[in-house]
Amino acid sequence: MKKLFASLILGMVLLAGGTAALAQAAAEPAASAPAVAPAAAPAAAPAPKLDSGDTSWMLTSTLLVILMTIPGLALFYGGLGRSKNMLSVLVQVFVVFSLISVLWALYGYTLAFGGEGTFFGGFDKLFLKGIAPATLSGALPTIPEYVFVAFQGTFAAITVALIVGSFAERARFGAVLLFGALWFTFSYLPLAHMVWGGGLLGKEGALDFAGGTVVHINAGIAGLVGAYVVGKRIGFGKEALAPHSLTLTLVGASLLWVGWFGFNAGSAGAANGIAGLAFINTVLATAAATLAWIGAESVHKGKASALGAASGAVAGLVAITPAAGFVGPVGSIVLGLIAGVAGLWGVTGLKKLLGADDSFDVFGVHGVCGIVGAILTAVFAAPGFGGTQAADYAIGHQLWVQVKSVIVTIVWSGVVAFIAYKIADLVLGLRVTEEAEREGLDITSHGETAYNR
């Protein structure tokens, strides 16, 4: 444990140095007063006012995102592993969520949503300084800022937890936490700021309603890098490494679907029509992707599997995330159908081509379908396809903006992930011993078992 705490301190030191170099000046000096006063002063904007309906919806959405992580994601991943590693997967998701929640309050929120930097925010709200129960959010002025902090914190926590599925069943617990702290600091936070906090990609007009780039592509690329760096599981490609409980995986997938309404509809920031649009789009895209996945699977393998249905649902959820508030219901169905087929290819043909042991297909589903969703948002957001954008919306221009945001996310996440894995390996060792891996991480890492033997 001493080595673990020392490692976390190392991450904080790296944070201080890196963010100091990248954080931008908080604000430029105000311009001098004009020599001649205007004929009439503009009418003052109405003062922000708390709305109890919006606040209630955002509190509910925050709870839903927590539900989709613990227990949703934990059970989805746990069922996909072997019984000897079930508990280790649950613990990793649970503790990663806890770690990132604390780091988010200490410095994550201010670096993502404070200041006006290009890549990072500022330190004006370090340790949530200056926020009180009566303080309203600057981003969503009808809800308390504490609620906005909590809501965005759940996004950060689930993003890091998603990566756990790529190197499951062979990674050292302490190294997982150290990697998570480093990657959160230097990949999640800058991308959240660049897209949602007024940084580079947001200024260029990138459309990402609820996290196609920030969450899914970001985590998917980090997962793929992790699968390569940590290495393949013993017996991969030579013996069956089948899921031990598809029942739990389906339960987890169901909880993910339910919780995702907080993820997508909650990103409207209010109890309004856009929340309703994001809500129905989440239903339709997920359902369409489920049907597309099992349909393509039936053609490819001759049978529609329970795992295929669960994976198809997640594929649809991922793909609609960046588009949920920008596209119409029919567009969401088409997007879901495309995502179902793309996700199936991601976990079969593409996975074989890449040769990586991405244990629970983090890249194949979240990475691939996140890319599909982010790019096709540019198409289906057009008013001609039922989208919500203005009449003069140009698909070609927005398509280029979306592609650039995808490329930036891939490169940024990949580089940071590689360095973070190497630091974790150097400090603690990334991988458990061969003996520990064969016996199972439940016993060797936690001294407990998920099931009585």
Task: Kindly list the distances between the CA atom of residue 4 and the CA atoms of 14, 104, 141, 241, in Å, as whole numbers in the listed order.
Answer: 15, 19, 40, 30
Cβ-based neighbour number of residue 256 at 10 Å: 23
Q: How do residues 380-422 score in pLDDT, each as one tens digit?
A: 999 999 999 999 999 999 999 999 999 999 999 999 999 999 9
Task: Kindly list the distances between the CA atom of residue 98 and the CA atoms of 92, 156, 267, 371, in Å, as whole numbers in the listed order.
Answer: 10, 11, 22, 28
Among 285, 294, 406, 287, which residue's Cα sits nearest to residue 341? Answer: 294
Q: Give the pLDDT of residue 13.
A: 35
Determine contact, residues 364/351, Cβ cutoff 8 Å.
Answer: yes
Mean pLDDT (the chain) is 91
- Tokens in use for 317? 């959820």
Q: Domain map of the chain by residue range?
A: 50-446
Q: Please give the Cα distance from 277 to 263 (Å, whole number).
A: 13
Q: Give the pLDDT of residue 43.
A: 58
Among 182, 178, 223, 200, which residue's Cα sits nearest to residue 358? Answer: 223
Q: Please give the Cα distance from 440 to 446 (Å, whole number).
A: 10
Cα–chain center distance at 257: 15
SS3 call for 48: coil
171: β partners:
431
Determine contact, residues 212/374, Cβ cutoff 8 Å.
Answer: yes
**How far apart are the two ends of the chain, measured CA to CA in Å?**
29
Among 213, 215, 305, 198, which residue's Cα sits nearest to residue 256? Answer: 215
Please give the single-letter amino acid code of residue 387: G
Please give the single-letter amino acid code of residue 199: G
What letters, b where the CB count within 10 A reaches 16 and e where it falls short, cover 345-361? bbbbebbeeeebbbbbb
User: Half-sphere exposure of 89 toward its Cβ, with a 13 Å CA cutoff?
Assistant: 33
- Going residue by residue through the chain, which has 453 residues, state the pLDDT in tens, using 9 for 90 and above: 444 444 443 444 344 434 333 333 333 333 333 333 344 445 566 788 999 999 999 999 999 999 999 999 999 999 999 999 999 999 999 999 999 999 999 999 999 999 889 999 999 999 999 999 999 999 999 999 999 999 999 999 999 999 999 999 999 999 999 999 999 999 999 999 999 999 999 999 999 999 999 999 999 999 999 999 999 999 998 988 999 999 999 999 999 999 999 999 999 999 999 999 999 999 999 999 999 999 999 998 999 999 999 999 999 999 999 999 999 999 999 999 999 999 999 999 999 999 999 999 999 999 999 999 999 999 999 999 999 999 999 999 999 999 999 999 999 999 999 999 999 999 999 999 999 999 999 999 999 999 986
Among 370, 390, 372, 371, which residue's Cα sits nearest to residue 382? Answer: 390
Q: How do residues 241-269 score in pLDDT, each as one tens digit?
A: 999 999 999 999 999 999 999 999 999 99
Q: Give the pLDDT of residue 413.
A: 98
Q: Please give the Cα distance from 164 to 450 (Å, whole number).
A: 18
Contacts of residue 180, Cβ cutoff 8 Å, sequence gap at least 6: 96, 99, 100, 160, 163
Q: Please give the Cα distance from 4 to 433 (Å, whole number).
A: 18
Among 58, 61, 261, which residue's Cα sits nearest to residue 143? Answer: 58
Determine contact, residues 347/361, Cβ cutoff 8 Å.
Answer: yes
SS3 call for 171: strand
Q: Give the pLDDT of residue 48.
A: 86
Determine contact, residues 130/41, Cβ cutoff 8 Å.
Answer: no
50-446 adopts what CATH topology? Answer: Ammonium transporter fold (1.10.3430)
Determine contact, residues 24/115, Cβ cutoff 8 Å.
Answer: yes
Q: How do residues 339-376 score in pLDDT, each as one tens digit?
A: 999 999 999 999 999 999 999 999 999 999 999 999 99
